[in-house]
Structure 1
Amino acid sequence: MKLVRYILSGLCVLALAGCVLVWHYREALHVAAGSVSQSLCAAAFVSHVDPDRVYAEEQRPLMGGIAWAVRYTVDRSHDEVRSSVLGLFGGLSRYREGLGCVLLLGDDLAAQAEELTQDPTPDAFGPRVVAPADPALEAALTLAFAEPDPSHPRSTKAVVVLHDGQLIAERYAPGYGPETPIWAHSITKSITQALIGILVRQGRLQVNQPAPLAAWASAADPHHAITVDQLLRMDSGLPFDETDGPVNLATHMWFLEPDTAAFASHAALTHAPGTVWGYSNLSYALLSKLIGDATGHTAAGAENFARRELFAPVGMNHTVIETDAHGTLLGSGFMYASARDLARFGQLYLDEGVVDGKRILPEGWSAYAHSQTLDTGYGAGFWTNLVNTGSVPIWNAPWGIPQLPKDMFYARGAFGQYIIIVPSEHLVVVRMGLSVYNKGTGIGDATAAIIAALHHEAPSALAISQSARH
């Protein structure tokens, strides 16, 4: 009997310790459930790729030691994905036509009602994949899809190359193609920058004036003086919010807050505005709020604005920006777009904001986008190649891609999403993938090889050796 009592006592202690541990990590477990449901909902209903494969390649590596406790169900009859961790922490994401997937939190289900129809539009580049005619260009694409370390796969899904505005080469992984919307992550910030630019061109915003946010209306509020420019440049004084670990201000905002802009507007300043750079998803949540305020305060209104003013003129026919449950665009990182669409977007900036003779962005907006912020390698919504020493704070990642021309600038997203724009070469290169292991994507090498192919030269071995983190 004593032995039985000892065993029962030990089991009680273990159970209690387990409960304490789960309680301690409850926020991380909620974030994990939200991340799984949102990602797999978009995989199934936006991208139309295999959600089980996306889970295996993208989400399971992120789950680490709790992967065994994750369950999910793709419900195609209701266009939704439910997930759970330990059977206790759940996530529900529901697809809405034309608006992508929305994460529904608690009792706030208001986002269910909106939908937005869209007639299919043929891709102007045609239905066929454009294979490179030049063997050197073919070799560059092969380099882009190379897997030098099978234990840390790069999982490249798409590469598209435009030169002089013409599609000269592209390649896709099995299950992906020219019309497949892929999660662009923080490339979304550069799209948000463009939408803000359109509002500036229309005279509805001014970049050097305080951001007209109701939450910051009081002159006594230390946030009141923050300008639209500072939000775009990430030197607003808001904290560096995407740090290591499963829970930070960014993941909390995305996966735990139904109103992302309200959460961002209450974040305390860590520096005086305009003095210190810090990577800021919070800033782009607030810029998204400005877009929503100008377009009717609804998900459909904001998405219609993006379609009418940007996507349709540029030819981005397979692009959607998702929203939070309150209808605000998730302009910090939740856009799905085909690689061709993103290449066209890069071409817009290469062409100084003009498409077919029509001005989309304000004059000078492209140059503004890659003008240097403080002493960093960041511009205003885009990364630059102006700084090739030192590293991004906290991340310890290089600022630029040193083997590429100095005038290059680029949009970049987590897991290896890139729009590389090289004005001196009249070149746009898009790379999309699921490189979750942070071991580099090879896109710096591949782009150097593309440029060498255009010049009929051998790429510099020294330059290639410098691009391990890209």
Structure 2
Amino acid sequence: MISLRKNWRLVLTFASIGAAAAALTGCEGPARVAGVPVHFTSHQLCSATFVAGLDADEYYNEAIKPKLGPIGALLRYDVDRQQREVRTSLAGLVQSRAVHDGPFGCRVLHPGREARFFQGEADEPLVRSASAIAGAGIVGPVNNRLSEALDHAFAENPSGPRRFTKAVVVLHRGRVVGERYAAGITPATPLIGWSMTKSMTNALLGILVGRGKLDMQKPAPIAEWSAPDDPRRAITPDQLLRMLSGIGCGQSLKTGFTTIFDADTQMEFDMADQSAFAANASLRARPEKEWRYTNCNFILLSRMIRDAAGGNAKSARRFIERELFAPLGFEHATLEYDSAGVPLGTIHLWASARDWARFGLLYLRDGVTETGQRLLPEGWVDYSARLTPQSADEYGYGAGFWTQRGNSAAARARIASGYPADSFMAIGSQGQYTIVIPSHDLVIVKLGWAFTPHDDHVAVERLVRETIAALQPE
């Protein structure tokens, strides 16, 4: 047990580091830095418990505690099932409270921003697509080779780091041909998608474009940028979607304990109105000149979606449910919101592995649902999967998707590892993947919370190779 004196020493050291980082980066200081792990824990633990129905202690030990580093020794949490909330504390000095707000998921309550969006009212009736990708039971692999591929995706190295694969779904020719789940996970369990959520935001933008409510090439409708002499005024939704806006936020590509000092991480976990922070960021580079992966771009796109849908959380949720989730037959999906009522189309969509597969199928079918309804404009999928040349050559990024198309070094490396050249994918931190492979009429979904290097990409490359081989005609 750490003594109180050591507690204070660690906290003061932590605060001093935060103050130094604040002086260098312009962040708001040690209080915000210290708040990140506390708010992160309460939010994620609330979502895992009350959105996904996971065991709180198991999720904390597997998915949260390894990220906290030395702070974990000072952090305490309490899950209140009656009030449906989670409270956390860092050495008794920094507290956080996250509440479950019904279909709006969980959010951290900040002082003065404690309104709840859900008042117990019934949802408007929606006709959900009768999804035919699988029956009620778990679909066993169609052959031994696919079974072995799934074995490898779940295999753990005894010496670590842990993979914690929770679900894999293989969708071939529009049907699930094999799926597997970890203990405690079912086809109905929502799992965090992290940055795969950005690809879902891409779909919502496509729907707005198809309805004539948004032009991706015109200046983004951001009120804070409307002054005639504001250099941000010319930034387009396309530049936000391709990470080319040039706005001076942090970065969201690399994760780890030190990201508590990053402005992006602080925005995601310690700010009540995330889009206001992003909209007030200054330019760090001319639009179109620098590729920088930042959640600020996507929270601004998310606010644009909210505003186009009616301007508040309830209208935004109705729009997302009616125009995307219901037509795709999503059964277990929850998108969360910040305190300003903006959908967190950055990293906070929880959905079952089958729902992620249904999402991938939409892009495999060029934006058309299983029932033949066109959700995305013609050409939108190709636009989304087209390489952004300015994206760092080592990454290979399109418009909200990572892509093997184009001639980036990243694409060439992934193709050499077994990805087909026409494939593209939604990727989330810690090994979340929805991979779309048109040439093989194939979608592969892999979810979990891996601590293996580079978002578990070596294991996923193997899964892609072995799945394609397993489904080849005899």
Q: TM-score, normalised by structure 1?
A: 0.89
Displacement after TM superposition at 1:12 (Å): 13
Aligned partner (choices 401, 426, 450) of residue 435 of structure 1:
450
Q: 2:387 touches 2:406 (CA, 8 Å); kept in 1?
A: no
Structure label with greater radius of gyration = 1
Amino acid at match of 1:49: L
1:23 aligns with 2:24: no
Amino acid at match of 2:358: R
Once the two structures are superposed, what CA deviation does each residue of 1:100-144 show, in whole Å capped at 9, x if it has no partner? Answer: 111111221023555665589886422200001211111111111
Displacement after TM superposition at 1:266 (Å): 1.1
SS in 1 for 2:261: coil
Unpaired segments ≥5 residues, structure 2:
19-29
In 2 relative to 1, CA 388–452 (structure 1 residues): closer, same or farther, beyond 3 Å? farther
Aligned partner (choices 242, 267, 275) of residue 261 of structure 1:
275
Aligned to 1:455: 472
In 2 relative to 1, CA 348–115 (structure 1 residues): closer, same or farther, beyond 3 Å? farther
Structure 2 counterparts to residues 228-243 of structure 1, below 5 A? 228-239=237-248, 241-242=251-252, 243=254
Output the CA distance in 2 between the equivalents of 1:349 and 1:428.
9
Amino acid at match of 1:424: S
1:73 aligns with 2:83: no
| CA-based RMSD | 2.4
SS in 2 for 1:373: coil
1:324 aligns with 2:338: yes
Q: 2:50 touches 2:84 (CA, 8 Å); kept in 1?
A: yes
SS in 2 for 1:324: coil
Structure 2 counterparts to residues 336-347 of structure 1, below 5 A? 336-347=350-361
Q: 1:84 touches 1:91 (CA, 8 Å); kept in 2?
A: yes
Q: For structure 1, which segment, 67-76 or 14-23, has the greater mean C-alpha deviation from structure 2 after superposition?
A: 14-23
Aligned to 2:224: 215
1:281 aligns with 2:328: no
Q: 2:45 touches 2:86 (CA, 8 Å); kept in 1?
A: yes
Aligned to 2:27: none
Aligned partner (choices 94, 100, 103) of residue 95 of structure 1:
100
Amino acid at match of 1:290: M
Unpaired segments ≥5 residues, structure 1:
1-10, 393-397, 458-470
Amino acid at match of 2:57: D
Amino acid at match of 2:468: I
Output the CA distance in 2 between the equivalents of 1:400 and 1:95.
42
Displacement after TM superposition at 1:80 (Å): 0.5
Once the two structures are superposed, what CA deviation does each residue of 1:419-456 show, in whole Å capped at 9, x if it has no partner? Answer: 00011011000000011343625111011100001115
Aligned partner (choices 397, 401, 422) of residue 382 of structure 1:
401
Aligned length: 442
Q: 1:181 touches 1:337 (CA, 8 Å); kept in 2?
A: yes
Q: 1:387 touches 1:400 (CA, 8 Å); kept in 2?
A: no
Q: 2:101 touches 2:117 (CA, 8 Å); kept in 1?
A: yes
Structure 2 counterparts to residues 54-203 of structure 1, below 5 A? 54-111=59-116, 113-114=118-119, 117=122, 124=132, 125-203=134-212
Output the CA distance in 1 between the equivalents of 2:131 and 2:108.
30
Q: 2:38 touches 2:89 (CA, 8 Å); kept in 1?
A: yes
Amino acid at match of 1:35: F
Aligned partner (choices 202, 213, 217) of residue 204 of structure 1:
213
Once the two structures are superposed, what CA deviation does each residue of 1:253-281 show, in whole Å capped at 9, x if it has no partner? Answer: 11111001000001121111011111021
Displacement after TM superposition at 1:28 (Å): 2.9
Output the CA distance in 2 between the equivalents of 1:61 and 1:12.
23
Aligned to 1:292: 306
Output the CA distance in 2 between the equivalents of 1:419 and 1:161.
10
Q: 1:99 touches 1:116 (CA, 8 Å); kept in 2?
A: no
Amino acid at match of 2:333: T
Displacement after TM superposition at 1:247 (Å): 2.6
Output the CA distance in 2 between the equivalents of 1:111 and 1:145.
39
Structure 2 counterparts to residues 44-59 of structure 1, below 5 A? 44-59=49-64
Displacement after TM superposition at 1:238 (Å): 2.1
Displacement after TM superposition at 1:151 (Å): 2.1
Amino acid at match of 2:113: D
Amino acid at match of 1:134: N
Amino acid at match of 2:330: M
Output the CA distance in 1 between the equivalents of 2:148 and 2:119.
46
Amino acid at match of 1:23: A
Q: 1:110 touches 1:326 (CA, 8 Å); kept in 2?
A: no
Output the CA distance in 1 between the equivalents of 2:7 and 2:372.
68
1:314 aligns with 2:328: yes
Aligned to 1:406: 421
Aligned to 1:425: 440
In 2 relative to 1, CA 279–400 (structure 1 residues): closer, same or farther, beyond 3 Å? farther
Q: 1:322 touches 1:330 (CA, 8 Å); kept in 2?
A: yes
Q: 1:386 touches 1:400 (CA, 8 Å); kept in 2?
A: no
1:365 aligns with 2:380: yes
SS in 1 for 2:446: strand
